[in-house]
Amino acid sequence: MSAEQSGEAENPPIRRLTDWDTGRLRELASEHGTPLYVTDPERVAENCARLRAAFPDADVKYAVKAHTGRAVLETVREAGLDAECASAGEVRRALDAGFSGDRVDYTAVNPPARDLDAVVDWWGDHPDLTVTVGARDTLDRLAERGYDGRVCVRVNPGVGAGHHEKVRTGAAPKFGVPYDRAADVVADAREQFDVVGLHAHAGSGIHGEEDLAAHRDLVARMGELAREIGDDDIEFVDVGGGFGVPYREDDPALDIRAVADATREALGDVAATLAVEPGRYVVADAGVLLTEVNTVKPTPEVTVAGVDAGMTDLLRPAMYDAYHAIRNLDREPGADASADTGPVTVAGPICETGDTFCDGRELPIPERGDLLAVGNAGAYGYEMASTYNSRPRPAEVRLASDVLRARETLAGVTRLEHGGRDE
Ligand SMILES: Cc1ncc(COP(=O)(O)O)c(C=O)c1O
Ligand SMILES: N[C@@H](CCCC[NH3+])C(=O)O
């Protein structure tokens, strides 16, 4: 099948940083200033369409944590995905974005009392929402609050995968009930709740063969467990998300159809519906971060390009040593300016050595005022931003037009001090 016949020409599996329209990014930076997140909900819609085509019989849920912005949530809802939420706050955002209760799952990990109180309260108006529970204590705490609705049991499959040890949740004891106790927990839960599903998640950024093999192991284990507890007594078996995207310029894109086929095969014969809950795959390549070079410092080893975005805007390089593609929009091939290259360290304004977006990477030698674009910033970008060093959070705009999240001000950062409070 040619790329055109498969629809790949219109909806390629990855939008690379080089595919973004430089002129448009420049316009947005000069209109709104930097640092600036640019998000393209149209690309989110394409990613949802590709997932739905790959998993036509499955319940595809979007892991809201990857990008919680209203425009993204509305796009995902319209595209027919459900919402998997990691906190009461995410449940609220999903409901506010128009997801009906039957399309909302709350995955409760050591849930704070305030979260349980809020979700049980909203359950009154949305009796079809589902709470995913990873410990007997959470079942007890729900029952204490009068909840007797839909419950999904999260299992620790003992199999982890992902781009960094900090995101390989599958084998970490923190998550889910141990596999060999899961059937007992399901039996107990059935006495008080409507047990509608099983859940497990290997981790985030599943990309290479090893990760894919771990994902298949997890799925196979979940298929076995479903048959053990009665696969026609539950509605779904959720095998998590984690589908990776290529961060390096020459990384291949994941063949999502092949992953879907392998998932179905590993699950085996199960009457319940297969469910998946990707986040990154939906939003990563729908966002870039724009940042301006404000300092250029030659050193014997590298040229340091000091920029106005830092780990407070995009934490992933500092937290996971994550690689993000970087383009100097003022020194592209064909641009007037010189494009001599050399080892460049792109460093932010934060007082930590880890506050760099790359170290000694071969890039065009920048000049003060150059505009840099950082790729795959749509997933876990704005979401992990903080106000450390009293740095207000950046703005976010839609590629085509409006401001999605206004730039935070210093008054915003200090608003809760000295008697200030959120209503
Ligand atoms: C329970 C759960 N589901 C889904 C996801 C989404 O992962 P990803 O964004 O890698 O698809 C995560 C994050 O790792 C998670 O913890
Ligand atoms: N925040 C992680 C992935 C999500 C982990 C959530 N379980 C990242 O940026 O890669």
- Tens digit of pLDDT for each residue in 342-391? 999 999 999 999 999 999 999 999 999 999 999 999 999 999 999 999 99
Domain count of the chain?
2
Range of the domain at 169: 41-282
Query: Is residue 3 a part of any domain in this protein?
Result: no
What pLDDT was estimated at residue 333? Answer: 74
pLDDT exceeds 80 at position 337: no
Percent of all residues in the chain with a pLDDT value above 70, rounded to a whole number: 98
Question: What tokens were used for 18?
Answer: 């080089």
Q: CB under 6 Å to ligand 2: residues? A: 167, 169, 204-205, 316, 320, 380
How far apart (Å, rounded) are the C-alpha atoms in residues 21 and 387?
A: 30
Per-residue pLDDT band at 223 (split at 50, 70, 90): very high
- Whether 98 is in a domain gets the answer yes
Provide the pLDDT for residue 4. 47
58 and 207 housed in the same domain: yes
Q: Residues 231, 302: one domain?
A: no
Closest residue CA from atom 3 of ligand 2: 204
Whether 351 is a known active-site residue: answer: yes
299-313 residue pLDDT tens? 999 999 999 999 999
Spatial CA neighbour of 365 closest among 308, 421, 297? 297
| Domain-ending residue, one of 282, 315, 338 | 282
What pLDDT does 7 receive?
66
- Which among 252, 282, 312 is the end of a domain? 282
Whether residues 266 and 167 fall in one domain: yes
Q: Identify the domain boundary among 230, 247, 282.
A: 282
**Whether pLDDT at 276 is above 90:** yes
Determine the Cα–Cα distance for residues 55 and 274; give it in Å rounded to an integer. Answer: 9
113 and 226 part of one domain: yes
* Closest C-alpha to ligand 2, atom 7: 167
CA–CA distances in Å: residue 147 to residues 85, 117, 128, 129, 188: 18, 10, 12, 11, 15
Residue 297 CA to ligand 2 centre (angstroms): 33
- 365 and 222 inside one domain: no
**Which residues sit with their C-beta closer than 6 Å to ligand 1?**
63, 66, 84, 107, 167, 169, 201, 204-205, 240-243, 277-281
Q: Ligand 1 centroid to 342 CA: how many Å?
A: 37
State how far the Cα of 419 lies from the Cα of 177, in Å rounded to an integer. 42
CATH number of residue 378's parent domain: 2.40.37.10
- 244 in the same domain as 296: no
Q: Which of 322, 319, 305, 320 is nearest to 386 (CA)?
A: 319
Per-residue confidence (pLDDT) for residue 1, from 0 to 100 = 46
**Shared domain check, 307 and 268:** no
Catalytic residue among 85, 152, 351, 358: 351
What pLDDT does 202 receive?
97
**Residue 164 CA to ligand 2 centre (angstroms):** 9
> What residues form the annotated binding site for substrate?
280, 316, 320, 352, 380
Cα 194–Cα 195–Cα 198 angle in degrees, nearest 5: 160
Asked whether residue 349 is domain-assigned, the answer is yes
